[in-house]
Structure 1
């Protein structure tokens, strides 16, 4: 009987199996770009903990313009990673709830120049303070400082600024900035709030009351899977670092990630405190600290802001009752009848439990959106095929497929339409692939395909071409039809590698090579490609230190008034002289800087150095000289923060706005937002002119000339070069000049290399010109000499550039 009762209880548990997910992709919004700071969530994703819980999770990185709280409040993300200021957000009307504390101690610190020893003269210092730095503000107040007397500046998030006159002290994180300063051999001092008894929590996983009320089991499952991932990350940091580098495309070096992991361990304290522990008593202290700064109402209830697990239904008393009732029923109803009916019920329960287990296993291996295999199943299958390849030398191919520009579908049409596109893409792939292929969606817009028995490049290429053809017909999005292509990376086992992690990394590298080659194509992995990827990572790592080490500098190319043959402007051009690789061309490092977010640092350097040189030239040689500065679209993504800083620098140097021309690309206008439009208007209000660079190479340049406040157009040098070979190019240049003048625009011709080109442009009425015919780009001293002596045409001296 005891045996039978145990079986009944076991089967009852199996019948209660239920997936917590649904067809919706749930999104976790990080507070910064991919780093070890979020290691637990990557582990939960890569190890299939989310999949096992029936959750389809997308981990979304942030940039400097991302507001984590706004993402969760709006519903674009269901979960977020924030600091203790989530309490302030709740107090202001956003019903957020803290699910788990990851950092038991905050990494927030103040870093200062090495000569800042005490707090006594901080009122004379320049301090950069990040938003939501309440614990640091409280720290300063506790040290006797009057916040109103301090000189706070906007944060540049560049610790190397401590080597300049821009700043003396900045807010930072003990897990980040000390590493970069130490690597650059820059001495510094730290001031830690915990030394004064101010001990806030660090990163917290939070969600909204709406999510808890609507999906209580999903919340509990997501929290549990995430904390399980954090436990793995704490025990296996090297494994997670490999994932961050290979699968999440972090721009940070392995050395930094290892430093970050070690620094985090003492803040998380997994050996002393249960991961995720909320510790209400410490939260009460945090509340009191916020109330002291008038950031929380006096009646703020911390209990409502902390997650409480749903109380599990207690069926124990029912089971006890059944255990007592059973012998009574046997005595009253007859032992034989009871046994017959019990056996019949057990048989039915067993059949139902087996069906439930089969369904549970099926759901655990399926992506709920597309009904394809999920990441968990893919990883198991990939591991099995790798083992077979090692033991039996059985080869197979691996495709890594990513939809091109899919983010724009979500941004423009919404995530619901984006999900429909993913379903359609999965169906197209299923119809196209051979029957023996294993297709999986492993997250976001990423799919993998395992192809047993085929490693021949031609055969794999044929399959890839068929896949690409499947995406040639447009996708229906609402009432529109939108073209969406795919990029595919291909690798093979055992030819390229024999372990699953390396194979996936190589396929991913090949996929990005396909994207970088123009998208809508496939690329087969090679060791040469891998060497290029490693070189790219090294360049990215070195780029972080290039400016403080003095490796980057500016050259200046003169821009002439073609009629007067006089220098009226200079274009500032960034150059990088690497200590071991030599000159690295801007065409190589600027795209990497844009992808990694370093373009902001480089752009600020170009602006500061060029206007400083301009101020010298205007005071001593040419009072009306103008500086033309190239800008990247990524520099206009921070809602005007860059402009405010630049305007301040211009005012400090007493330079008028019309002393500057910002060069922008048509690509920036094609993907403009209201934020970009507002910043272009701000440039106009300051008197700064705007030039549209590489005019004529885009698709819709004319459409933007009246829509935006453009002052100059720069004819692309390809048109100037073609003027030597045919009348069509000459007519085209003449038409561009004529059209621009009718729109009250000035015209700059780039790439003038011959006297004939110059004379034709003068004949057409072109206003300004630059190119090797006049001068190569020059360093500041040589440019000064040229400005003093003037242009002597033709300029054919062998100038280093």
Structure 2
């Protein structure tokens, strides 16, 4: 009762003192998000107002320096990391008044192939200059900073996705969620794993504010921590405020992710919100001193604001004890011990519940409620040790959904998430009771089966998974079909090393995809050698452009009515210094998989246009050029086709002189992005040719809807044209249909005069093949242009 009465008395005192509502500005480190939920709650619920405060919450940006804002008086309070100590040592008299995050959110994110710190050698790294604990982490683990290539930090996780950088410092409340939504696999390196555990999001102010307005500081701290207590108990309400009242740029799922992560970092059930642990700060100070960031004379006590409330209560209790006398003192001791025992018992129970909740959240995927990557890696290491020491076998299945990205592109992330949850339920229904299913990435799952299971039984499980996953899903009133590719590896047969087992399962899964998807594949060392060879080819591809190993050849396309050369198709060739001439069908799939198709495609486009501009000025003003593009380029033009239109216009080439060839299956799996890009080609005067027509399953309605200008009859129809009645009928029907749709027709693979004559009689517009010429070097193509005569 005494404590409650005093609290009400203090509340009345604060209310009287601040009746005029002091204006207070709090500078946040980033834009409005759940990271600052407690302050929104205190504002929305009137906690600040009750204590006579009018608080303005100032959102931050990527360029905001919170310390400068507070030091210059633009803000009265700020939210910063443990670098507040460093700023104080530089002459800025800051004081920390509350600790919000008991664990720091800073970490490193790395591309998936980077497994350990030993893999960092020579890698490109973006490091926030103020991340002192990350620098200490690297130094403690023996990483020489001189062995790394540092780049200016962009704070954009897309630089990891686009392979601009290998590793970047990040915030666990921000970048991991963004990368997960992009289905981009990544690895996490945390200082906490090696005992470097700083606090984060510390609420601080200046000594001047404390000396001049101590009561206001006490009131602001009290209301803010009360707001944090509410926010952690009612996260969904605060999320709604963020969306409705603070114009947050983040969606509800992202804010919910932050709320969950904040709970882990704050540990509100274990530690009082705002609690300043002096001994932990003493360790932080010593750590900074080891780094040379603080001198040995740094006064930590001067940097920490410790509330007088506890000392005042102690004085009141002593005074009360003296007034009551010695007799009541002994009774009070007995009562106190009894009460503390009950509270301790309750606290222990609550602590156990809290630990259990934190453990569950730390090991659970928030979307599917399956085990997450962290749990899977720990479990894999445990099983691998048992396989090594006790020879206990187990199986690892690596599952990757086929064409999941196209579902996300077509229906949006909301329905993509719905699909992931439905797949998770089906997978659980397929597995034996002792199997452990985890979601380790956007559309990636793993299964661990920890018993001596036979290969035939594993095949049965894999076949069941394939059958269940490929059943139709209902998304936004549309039936959608996907499939899954599965890689299987066995321990200790294949390996007892966890990272090797993951690599082997991934290689087996990739082999399943390369064989047509929707299948399973066991790991074998022959397959591993194939994977190593593919990786070596990828590495060689990275150097090929730098070493100028690529060149173009040009195959003529002729007008079948006049027999005149009217067009060339540009064809990429790779002259490897030791492998010799590498065929396109051997390296283009590798280039698409690795993302190198962007640079290669850019080279082909620009080189062929430069050649076309030159030939048009020298030989024929009507000459045209045809260029092949990959589905990967078309599906992500902002990534793979940057600056193409500007380059085309700079060559002063007229509309219709350039056409891009796409494969037929793009039409059947086209997305809105593909449709928009094809329309953009039309708007810039670029023609589109549909290659290998007749080998896929194109719907004729797409030909007009997507602005196709040419179709190319596949060589398989032309090959037997002279001997097969069916081939003649098909070719004639294709040509007739195309002309009715106002499309021109190019026939590929013409090798005989008879084939050319038949196609000409059907009205085919253009022809291409060895009858006219093989792919030519620049010199041979120029000689042909000069003669302008093609002999049949």
TM-score greater than 0.5 by the shorter chain: yes
- Aligned equivalent of 1:715, options 680, 695, 713: 713
Q: Give the superposition deviation at 1:734.
A: 0.7
The question of 1:227 aligning with 2:107 is answered yes
Residues 677, 432 of structure 1: CA spacing in aligned structure 2 closer, same or farther, 3 A cutoff?
closer
C-alpha distance in structure 2 between counterparts of 1:660 and 1:523, whole Å: 43
Unaligned runs of 5+ in 1: 1-80, 91-96, 103-215, 246-256, 282-306, 795-801
Instruction: Tell me the residue number matched to 1:312.
Output: 274
Cα distance between partner residues in 1 of 2:557 and 2:201: 63
3-state SS, counterpart of residue 438 of structure 1: strand
- Please state whether the residue corresponding to 1:773 is helix, strand or coil: coil
Aligned to 1:534: 532
After TM superposition, the score normalised by the length of structure 1 is: 0.60
Tell me the equivalent position of 2:726: 728
Q: Is the 8 A contact 2:410 2:672 kept in 1?
A: no
- In structure 2, what is the Cα distance between the partners aligned to 1:334 and 1:85? 54
SS of residue paired to 1:657: coil
Q: Deviation at 1:485?
A: 1.7
- Determine if contact 2:395/2:490 at 8 Å carries over to the other structure: yes
Q: Sort the Cα spacing of 1:508 and 1:86 in 2 relative to 1 into closer, same or farther, 3 A.
A: farther
Shift in alpha-carbon separation, 1:320–1:532, aligned structure 2, 3 A: farther
Matched with 2:27 is none
Aligned to 1:187: none
- Give secondary structure in 2 for the equivalent of 1:777: coil
Counterpart of 1:575 in structure 2 is 573
Answer yes or no: is the 8 Å Cα contact 1:237–1:261 preserved in 2. no
Secondary structure class of the residue paired with 1:312:
coil
Q: Name the CA distance, whole Å, in 1 between partners of 2:586 and 2:578.
A: 16
Matches of 1:502 and 1:436 in 2, distance apart?
Answer: 23
**By how many angstroms is 1:704 displaced?**
1.9
Q: 1:375 deviation in Å? A: 2.0
Count of residues in Structure 1 that have an aligned counterpart in Structure 2: 553
Whole-angstrom distance in 2 between the partners of 1:756 and 1:381: 67
Classify the secondary structure of the residue corresponding to 1:369.
coil
For residues 238-257 of structure 1, the aligned pairs below 5 Å read 238-239=118-119
Distance 1:760 1:234 in 2: 58
Q: CA deviation at 1:280?
A: 12
- Correspondence for 1:409 among 407, 410, 416: 407
Moved more, 705-714 or 335-344: 335-344
Q: Do the aligned partners of residues 278 and 543 (structure 1) sit closer, same or farther apart at CA in structure 2, a change above 3 Å counting?
A: farther
Further displaced range: 497-506 or 755-764: 755-764
Change (3 A) 1:706 1:388: same
After superposition, the Cα gap between the structure-2 partners of 1:423 and 1:678, relative to the gap in structure 1 and judged at 3 Å, is closer
1:509 Cα deviation after fit: 1.8
Which stretch has the larger CA shift, 693-702 or 711-720?
693-702
Partners in 2 of 1:278 and 1:786 — Cα distance? 75
Contiguous gaps of at least 5 residues in structure 2: 1-59, 70-77, 84-97, 126-142, 154-167, 170-190, 192-197, 206-257, 267-272, 277-306
Distance change in 2, residues 1:793/1:544 (3 Å)? same
Residues in 2 aligned to 1:244 and 1:383: alpha-carbon distance in whole angstroms: 29
Label 1:750 to 1:320 Cα distance change in 2 as closer, same or farther (>3 A): farther
Q: Aligned to 1:473, which of 471, 482, 486?
A: 471
CA contact (8 A) 2:122 2:147 kept: no
* Aligned CA-pair RMSD: 4.7
Map 1:291-306 to 2 at 5 A. none
1:264 maps to 2:154: no
Change (3 A) 1:657 1:506: same
The 8 Å contact of residues 234 and 265 in structure 1, kept in 2 or not, is answered as no
| Structure-1 residue corresponding to 2:369 | 371
Q: Does 1:553 align with 2:515?
A: no
Q: Quick check: 1:628–1:662 contact (8 Å CA) kept in 2?
A: yes
* Cα distance change on mapping 1:655 and 1:86 into 2, 3 Å: farther
Q: 1:598 aligns with which of 596, 599, 603?
A: 596
Larger RCO: Structure 1 or Structure 2 (Cα < 8 Å, ≥ 6 residues apart)?
Answer: 1
1:778 Cα deviation (Å)?
1.5
Secondary structure of 1:487's aligned partner: strand
Give the whole-Å Cα distance in 2 for the aligned partners of 1:719 and 1:509.
36
In structure 2, do the counterparts of structure 1 residues 581 and 277 end up closer, same or farther at CA, with 3 Å as the change threshold? farther
Equivalent pair of 2:508/2:523 in contact (CA under 8 Å): yes
Q: Does 1:237 align with 2:237?
A: no
Specify whether residues 259 and 732 from structure 1 end up closer, same or farther in structure 2 by C-alpha distance, changes over 3 A only: farther
- Specify the alignment match of 2:428 in structure 1: 430
Whether the 8 Å contact between 2:124 and 2:149 is mirrored in structure 1 is no
Structure-2 change in CA distance of 1:495 and 1:83 (3 Å): farther
Q: Which whole-Å CA distance do the structure 2 matches of 1:546 and 1:784 have between them?
A: 26
Aligned to 1:446, which of 444, 456, 474? 444
- The answer to which of 764-773 and 345-354 deviates more is 345-354
